[in-house]
Structure 1
Amino acid sequence: MNKKVITTCLAACSIVAGLSLIPVSGIMAQDPGRPELTLNGGSKGPVYFKHQLHQAVVEDCAVCHKDFEKKTGALDDAKKTGALKAKQVMNKTCLVCHRAKRKAGEKSGPTSCNACHS
């Protein structure tokens, strides 16, 4: 094969490989999940969680979903298997973020138990 054919083949392969990534990133960006979720809040009662509001503020799903999958019941499942401890996400993710925003003078979410649990 001559150099021009090899270069053309490599360029075409690179383009195809790059295009194969677009649908995956597009799906992730287009999947906002449900607007609101009802989470099992244990003995204190359910937590009505404004999912899409948090997505707009945090902008990176991995901030929260590093600890659990993106599926219904993931928090409860992770607690049952021992992958998460009770209150782990609330203490190490939710409250840390809410308190940091409050300290920075930004609009923040609640930091008391009763403000989330009903």
Structure 2
Amino acid sequence: MNKKVITTCLAACSLIAGLSLIPVSGIMAQDNGRPELTLNGGSKGPIPFKHQLHQTIVKDCAVCHKDFGKKPGTLDEAKKIGALRPQQVMTKTCIACHKAKKRIGEKSGPTSCSGCHS
């Protein structure tokens, strides 16, 4: 094979390999976590949390994740190190949002402790 054919083949292979990575990087950038998860609710019991439903309604991850990271366990870790007080996120973010939606007549989530804890 001559040098021009080899160069053309290498360029084509590089282009195909590069294009094949685009969908993967797009999926990685849109990782929205699990659709549902269970939060540690302390002595009142676990909290089943419909993560995907909240993402659809709230649309901005920072609304909730301003107080703790997105990796699993970061909410508990923030409480453990004292960066968050127990119930801080639930009362100042979750319940406040649910009550605000209820006040304006929109469908909302629970507004009491027993509404979330199972």
Q: Could you state the TM-score of these two structures normalised by the residue count of structure 2? A: 0.75
Q: CA deviation at 1:104?
A: 0.6
- Greater gyration radius: 2
Residue of structure 2 equivalent to 1:34: 34
Q: When the two structures are aligned, how many residues end up with a matched partner? A: 95
Residue of structure 2 equivalent to 1:14: none
Question: For 2:27 and 2:93, how far apart are their aligned partners in 1?
Answer: 26
Residue of structure 2 equivalent to 1:65: 65
Q: Secondary structure at the match of 2:63?
A: helix
Q: Could you state the TM-score of these two structures normalised by the residue count of structure 1? A: 0.75
Residue of structure 1 equivalent to 2:85: 85
Q: Secondary structure at the match of 1:33?
A: coil
Tell me which amino acid in the other structure corresponds to 1:62. A
- CA deviations on 1:79-107 (whole Å, 9 max, x unpaired) are 01110000000011001100000001001
RMSD between superposed Cα atoms in Å: 1.7
Structure 2: stretches of 5+ with no match in the other structure: 1-23
Tell me which amino acid in the other structure corresponds to 2:72. T
Identical aligned pairs, as a percentage? 69
Residue of structure 1 equivalent to 2:94: 94
Q: Secondary structure at the match of 1:38?
A: strand
